[in-house]
Structure 1
Amino acid sequence: MADLDALLEETRHACAQNNWRQGHAGLAEVDATRPLGADDLLLLGHSAYMLGRDEEYVAALKRAFDVYLAAGELPAAARTAFWIGHSLMYQGQMTLAGGWFETAGRLLDEHGEDCAEHGYLLIPVWLRQMGEGDWEAGLANAAEAARIADRFADADLAALARDEQARALVMLGRPDEGLKLADELLLRVGSGAHSPIVRGILYCNTIIFCRDGHLVPAAVAWTDALTAWCAACPEMVAHNGLCRVHRAEILQLRGAWDDAVSEAGEAATRFRDGVLNQIAIGQAHYRQGEVHRLRGDWMAAEESFRKAAGIGYDPQPGMALLRLGQGRTSVAAAAIRRAVAEQTGPLQRADLLPAYVEIMVAAEDLEAAGTAVEGLVRIASAHRSESLSAGVDTATAQVALAAGDAGQALRSARRSFLRWSEIGAPYDAARARVIVGLACRSLGDEDSAELEFDAARVTFESLGAVPAIQDLGSRTRICAAGLSTRELEVLRLLARGLSNREIANQLVISEHTVSRHLQNIFGKLGVGTRAAAGAYAFEHGLA
């Protein structure tokens, strides 16, 4: 008996030190000889959760629930019932989850006294409301839960409630208020005041809504904090997959593409246990696909996007941009139109509209591109963030340049470059510099154009952004010849030996339009035949 008591104390200490495997093994050993009490069953469940063993977690909590209930400890039984329902809810077992939430509510009614557990039962209520887009109602319930938490000094409930208040405020277009709450939470979450499960939820939830709200600096700060926690808990499986996906996205933004692929690969292959990690796998494949696309590895990109889609993660806008890079403009246009039409939430549309603008400009549908820019402006005005503003400036510059308004393109592209540089996004900043250079060249300032092109080229080469390097080379050569983007597409297809009808079918334009483009191409290149135009394309690296 004494040995078991000593082992129990040792395992409790191991869990307190984040040694989850030792703690779980010790608790299981004690339990095999002498059934654990309710509190230790919770600890057994928590250690299973941290190791990514969701079924063991729920099973231990169910046993703890029975012990609490038999002892007449109704609030403790209700709280345990809530966490069982919470886990089942995230596993997609909504009927069973609802049953446990109802059980918790009935026990609290039977208890008949005010307690912190009433606040926990507001969590599924606000999650449903926010999931349906009723952010005001969700905000009100989260605020009520925060008041309950303060009344009973419940640190976990207080943190969860204020984090959800922050999320609702961000989604309501009040990011300054939301970030004040999130910033305060970031200072507290690392203090050890919260249980490990709640701490993981706080990290992941906050990163997600900061990312969804395009609040890049906040997302970076929370991702760095989560990364540090994961490093300090090497045995932890839960949350590690999501952590690596979030980190991969930040690394891609910062230009550390090798590290981004590595982190996403870990999420997709190593950390697969636990419901949260399962959610991360599709995102991990998508993130790998994005880096492959930016590097011009079309086959690897397509494979990653298809893996993401197979898991149920929509690989847009990456797949549409991949098709654009492959020269399949009409396919890209159809895909991005579908993706944008499917999304109704403004911030979800904001994830897609920059790619939509780029593809519509390539398809010479400037009306659609301009309408999309207007929509992006409205979203950025309602949900203030530097990355949204940078995206607006980039899109505005792309449309203005295509429409022949070099002055507007120059002003918008310069703002875009400054904003992306401040955010710390070298690839996006370099793309903005290309537009600055093209606008300068259109305005007759060749020296400034070359400076911008050279600076962008250095960045692209350092990143290994092969398509961007090739596109820059084509654009600078095209400008010298005076060809438009569409004229270049026609010239490339001509050089491959396609007829006017085949070119028209490939680009989804009329044969008459193809003939007009060819007349313009012949004039600009100073040639008189298709053969001479094709030879020019091969000689100048345009084919």
Structure 2
Amino acid sequence: MLDTLEQGRAAYRRRAWNEAYGALSLADQARSLDHDDLELLGTCAYLTGRDQDFQRVLERAHHLNLSAGNQARAARAAFWLALTALLRSDKGIATGWLSRAGRLIESRDCVEQGYLLLPLAEQHLAERNGAAAHAAASRAAAVGQRFGDADLVACARHLQGRALLDKGTVNAGLALLDEAMLAAMTGELSPIFTGLIYCSVIDACQKVCALSRAREWTAALSKWCEQQPDMLAFTGTCLVHRAEILEFEGAWPDALSEATRACGRRAPTDRRPPAAAFYLQGEILRLQGNISAAEEAYHNASRWGCEPQPGLALLLMAQGRWDAACATIRRVVNATTDPFERAKLLPAYIEIMLSGSAVKDASSACAELEELAENIDTDVLHALAAHARGAVELADGDARTAIAPLRRAFQMWQQLGVPYAAARVRVLLGGVCLSLGDAETAGLEFGAARAVFRQLGAVPDLVRLDAIDKQTRSHRPLLTSRELQVLRLIAAGKTNKSIACELSLSERTIDRHVSNILTKLGVPSRAAATAYAYDHKLF
């Protein structure tokens, strides 16, 4: 047994998790392992995806420590049983283990008191009570520092950071997350805590759209996972994060490959694939124009518990099902209260509203997005807000006002290294130039956008550019959807005042639309605009 046990311990030190699991299991069959070696076996089970074995080992460790009168270590095993139950959303089981652990150490001054504060902080975060979460995490950090427990300190610091993010104190929150990640990167933490903190911190960075940090920590997580080929516990999440970054950077085939790997990478037991991987598949396939495959991916995401939005709503819009797209995105936005989640939904909401000429709704959402960008204060949100503002102003017929936010958005997307978003802004800038009679610059903007779309394989965007080119070459004016709507009402003989009333817009806005229409058509009057529209079949 000693040889097998030593082999298992040596394999554990080398992070050869499958080998360690096998050797420790054999040693355990020959003679039951003691507390320390049971912990090693449990860690190997967790990291190799043997969830049921991990739970059985923890239960054994708990009862073994109880029998030996070691209540603190029994409470530590109960903490892990509670934590894994929480991760499975088994709240009743988790509460039972936490209550038992609390009774075991209620009169003891031990580090486990700090560990039991971690689930409490998580619960407060789930309830959107950032102040209570921060207080619980701060107490846990103090216990960890007093006992010199690096795992507890790092986990508590990261929870403090998440609580600050939840309260809107983004920079201070990110600083605490950075501190926790430093401990993970430098090997100060146990393997399971290292993976948990990596994943949680990257999720938090993605939530607040801190793209540069998400890139940095995802690269570090990838390196850590690659050094441990046996590990399954965190590799699926790592692949999803890598795929998200690759999509941002415009490496769509690589992103799709990583997301597909994540969907298929399962543990030897029945661990579910990450639902976010299916959603990401759907996003890339939609952008590439593979509508049926994207639809299937979104459905798989929903099946595994991920709300496939706003991607599915954008897919409905791409299919020409505007009413369904509007109904879907309105439902999701109206049901979402978390400001970070709303910030991710609003750009799609604005795009869909503009596609249906609901400029007023888009403008209202744009104002909210701008306010969120100011409060959260990350580069991605500022770029999204400027992008949306330019699109709204252009759709509303105010091309001159649209120029500044679009230029600002383009510069930010360029600096962030997000080529697809930058190219889409260039299409809008081309539309601005056409509206202002600058066909030469419009051609440059469209040409630059086309080159990026070709490189990315963004087929739907190329098709839309082809339609613009065709319209431009035929010398048909590039009227916005709102301007076409106004032109139809002009042709119906309605006054500016009645048009404003019908479209729920100000009369001043309609005056501007009419002026733009006359300029673009090159006609002197409303009657001439009506005649031109019928002659050239503009509607």
> Structure 2 length normalisation: TM-score?
0.89
**Residue of 375, 378, 382 corresponding to 1:385:** 378
Distance 1:64 1:98 in 2: 19
Contact 1:305–1:319 under 8 Å retained in 2: yes
The sequence identity of aligned pairs, in percent, is 40
CA drift at 1:274: 7.3
**Residue of 270, 273, 276 corresponding to 2:265:** 270
CA drift at 1:320: 0.8
1:197 equivalenced with 2:192 (yes/no): yes
Contact 1:171–1:213 under 8 Å retained in 2: no
1:100 equivalenced with 2:97 (yes/no): yes
Structure 1 residues 319, 290: closer, same or farther in 2, change over 3 A? same
**Residue of 72, 75, 78 corresponding to 2:75:** 78
Alignment match, 1:171 = 166
**Residue of 323, 347, 359 corresponding to 1:354:** 347
1:146 equivalenced with 2:141 (yes/no): yes
1:117-139 deviation line (CA, Å, top 9, x unaligned): 11111111111110010011101
Contact 1:237–1:273 under 8 Å retained in 2: no
1:342-364 deviation line (CA, Å, top 9, x unaligned): 10111111110000001101111
Q: Which moved more, 1:468-477 or 1:30-39?
A: 468-477
**Residue identity opposite 1:175 in structure 2:** V
Distance 1:155 1:274 in 2: 31
Distance 1:259 1:274 in 2: 28
Q: How does 1:428-443 map to 2 (within 5 A)?
A: 428-443=421-436
1:225-284 deviation line (CA, Å, top 9, x unaligned): 111111100000001111111111111010010111111111111235679x63x52111
Structure 1 residues 51, 272: closer, same or farther in 2, change over 3 A? closer
Distance 1:294 1:388 in 2: 21
**Residue of 203, 207, 214 corresponding to 2:209:** 214
Alignment match, 1:56 = 53
1:125 equivalenced with 2:125 (yes/no): no
**Residue identity opposite 1:91 in structure 2:** R
**Residue of 415, 420, 433 corresponding to 1:427:** 420
Structure 1 residues 426, 5: closer, same or farther in 2, change over 3 A? same
**Residue of 278, 301, 312 corresponding to 2:294:** 301
> Structure 1 length normalisation: TM-score?
0.88
Alignment match, 2:308 = 315
Distance 1:271 1:299 in 2: 25
CA drift at 1:182: 2.1
**Equivalent residue pairs, number:** 502
CA drift at 1:98: 0.8
Alignment match, 1:342 = 335
Distance 1:410 1:420 in 2: 15
Distance 1:71 1:347 in 2: 48
Distance 1:470 1:524 in 2: 29
Alignment match, 1:66 = 63
CA drift at 1:332: 0.9
Alignment match, 2:6 = 9
**Residue identity opposite 2:254 in structure 1:** D
Distance 1:90 1:160 in 2: 15
Alignment match, 2:496 = none
Alignment match, 1:513 = none
Alignment match, 1:394 = 387
Contact 2:4–2:23 under 8 Å retained in 1: yes
Contact 2:395–2:482 under 8 Å retained in 1: no
Q: Which moved more, 1:480-489 or 1:443-452?
A: 480-489
Distance 2:426 2:338 in 1: 31
CA drift at 1:487: 8.3
Alignment match, 2:411 = 418
Q: Alignment RMSD, CA only?
A: 2.5
Structure 1 residues not aligned, in runs of 5+? 491-508, 511-516, 538-543
Contact 1:126–1:141 under 8 Å retained in 2: yes
**Residue of 15, 20, 34 corresponding to 1:18:** 15
1:126-157 deviation line (CA, Å, top 9, x unaligned): 11110010011101111111111101100000
**Residue identity opposite 2:380 in structure 1:** S
Q: Which moved more, 1:323-332 or 1:131-140?
A: 323-332
Distance 1:390 1:315 in 2: 23
Distance 1:59 1:154 in 2: 25
Distance 2:416 2:471 in 1: 31
Alignment match, 1:500 = none
Alignment match, 2:274 = 281
Q: Which moved more, 1:349-358 or 1:311-320?
A: 311-320
Contact 1:410–1:435 under 8 Å retained in 2: no
